[in-house]
Amino acid sequence: MDVVARRFNDRMLYNWERVVEFLKLHYVISARKDSQYWRDSRSEASCPDGLRDKLALWQQQPPWHDDAPRVDELFPSASYQYVLYGMGFMPEYSYLGRTELDRERRRVDKLLSANDKTARQMTQLLPTNRELLNSMTSLRGVA
């Protein structure tokens, strides 16, 4: 059973390192600098080598399936993309020219703004929690 134990331990170590990298990504690319904690958390010295390599790669190309050596990764490339782009990560590469990139950013900003406006309008149409509960109990005949 030594082989099984070793394989299990190797797998758990690999998964643990991916969890650490994924969590650390949130800190490393954060814009916060308001305390020593955040400055230390953002420092390159506190960044695992694997994540440092990935960030260097992602400066030149977006996260992709080929970046992960295993088919059953805990965090697939889409997970990294959500965090990177959601936190404002700006790669150095661009398949578009500067003018096209700026135009695309403006288009995305307009879409996000319209989405936010729609979400706020829809939220206004929803009942309060109390109104919803009251309507549900009245349907069952409970007072």
* Contacts (Cβ under 8 Å, ≥6 apart) of 48: 17, 20, 21, 24
Residue-wise pLDDT for 65-115, tens only, equals 888 888 888 998 889 999 999 998 888 766 656 677 677 778 888 999 999
Running DSSP on this structure, what letter comes out for residue 62?
-
Running DSSP on this structure, what letter comes out for residue 135?
H
Whole-Å CA distances, 22 to 19, 46, 75, 141: 5, 13, 8, 50
Average pLDDT, whole number, for the chain? 87
pLDDT at 94: 61
Residue-wise pLDDT for 33-46, tens only, equals 999 999 999 988 89
Running DSSP on this structure, what letter comes out for residue 69?
S
Report the C-alpha gap between 119 and 136 in whole angstroms.
24
pLDDT at 98: 63
How many percent of the chain have pLDDT more than 70? 91
